[in-house]
Amino acid sequence: MPEPRAESGIRGKRGFVLLATAAGLVAMVGALGLSVDLGRLYIARNEAQSYADAAALAAALELDGTSAGIVRARDRALALPNRWHLGTASFTGTEVDFATSAAGPWLPAPSSAVNYRFVRVRAAATASLYFIPVVAGQTSSTVRALAVAAQVPKTNFNEGILPFSPMAHDAADPNFGFTPGQRYTLRWGANPKVGPNVCPGDNHDTWVTLAEAGNASERGYIEETSSAVIRMAIEQNYQSRPLAVGDTVVMTGGNKQTQRDSLINRINQDTDKYSATYAEYVANDTGNGRRLVVVPINTWYPEYRVLGFAAFFLLLPSEYPQGGNKSFCAEYVGPFVQGSRHKGAGGPGAYVVRLVQ
């Protein structure tokens, strides 16, 4: 009787290696499937997220409260060259929507673009599966990514502002009492009087008197007097110290000729140095945004407290003549967006494009 038991045990051992190999093989193929298919899906998801983030940021930079801005934003998002499938395939079917707040509602083509400063990009990629179908029957899987970018308010600058600070006309008004399209003073001329030597928007007794209230060195440039720093500040947006809403600006005279030369250099950095107004600049659409600058707006004498930041448009080079009795003027545009070549889509103030989701 023990012999038959032994025979039975041997038969069992004979099949064990085969069974163990088969089981191990199934487990290993499963692991290979996880490694290959899930690994590819994980990478595809990262690629899709990277694309969605970049596309949303690029689109948000283009929004300016106009329908043309919406079209530009969509085109920019779809033109981003980021790819998936280990960097070999372009994204298709990307959806771009716009909203006035992060909560939506989201519209692909809003009828009015005013205040539409949020962009949502939804990207998807469908990857074929090689090993998972063996066990799950699913032959492909779609990974999705979503990103929301927006022009968000910015109340302090460590760098990027032009070193002039116009006088607010109305501290309670979101536009600081300015009218978009009107020209205001970046730097006052010597002994300002109502007349042709004062910028049109400030050409009134109220503002000229207020300008005269400070001494001559307090009518213009903020912070620095060194010519080298003035040049860097105007031509490269260098700042010697951070500036935030509520801070006090330090008005200084600065070398007027240096400022004038640097302003002209700054204008010449733009690919459109011929448009006389911002409206013309937008219509021509050949500029690169270098003439669109951001400045702090202050309460003027005696506090010189920063109320906010605003976009101004630098005029034609011929509008900045030599001579100490001429003012430096610029056109008030409204909302400024850091890094954009257009004005912002929201209300007056300064904005920066950030991912919000």
Asked whether position 353 contacts other proteins by CB under 8 A, the answer is: yes
**What's the start-to-end Cα distance of the chain, in Å?**
76
* Residues contacting 139, CB < 8 A, separation 6+: 128, 129, 133
Cis peptide before 2 (omega within 30 of 0): no
Angle 182-189-238 from CA coordinates, rounded to 5°: 75
Asked whether position 160 contacts other proteins by CB under 8 A, the answer is: yes
Of the candidates 286, 303, 323, 325, which one interacts with other proteins according to CB under 8 A? 286
3-state DSSP of 298-333: ECCCCCCEEEEEEEEEECCHHHCCCCCCCCEEEEEE
Of the candidates 7, 9, 28, 244, which one interacts with other proteins according to CB under 8 A? 28
- With respect to other proteins, which residue has the nearer C-beta, 175 or 237? 237
Residues 138 to 157 in contact with other proteins, rule: CB under 8 A: none
Asked whether position 9 contacts other proteins by CB under 8 A, the answer is: no
Separation CA 221–CA 164 (nearest Å)? 5
Q: Which amino acid is at 234?
A: I
Separation CA 164–CA 162 (nearest Å)? 6
Binding string to other proteins for residues 258 to 277, with x set by CB under 8 A, is what?
-------x---x-x------
Asked whether position 10 contacts other proteins by CB under 8 A, the answer is: yes
Of the candidates 112, 142, 236, 357, which one interacts with other proteins according to CB under 8 A? 236
In this structure, what are the phi and psi dihedrals at residue 127, rounded to the nearest 5 degrees?
-105, 140
Q: How far is the CB of 167 from other proteins (least distance, A)?
A: 26
Residues 45 to 74 in contact with other proteins, rule: CB under 8 A: 46-47, 50, 54, 57-58, 61
Asked whether position 17 contacts other proteins by CB under 8 A, the answer is: yes
Closest-CA residue to 73 (of 123, 103, 111, 117): 117
Q: Which residues bind other proteins (CB under 8 A)?
A: 10, 13-14, 17-18, 20-21, 24-25, 28-29, 31-32, 35-36, 39-40, 42-43, 46-47, 50, 54, 57-58, 61, 76, 80-83, 86-88, 159-160, 231-232, 235-238, 265, 269, 271, 286-290, 338-339, 341, 352-353
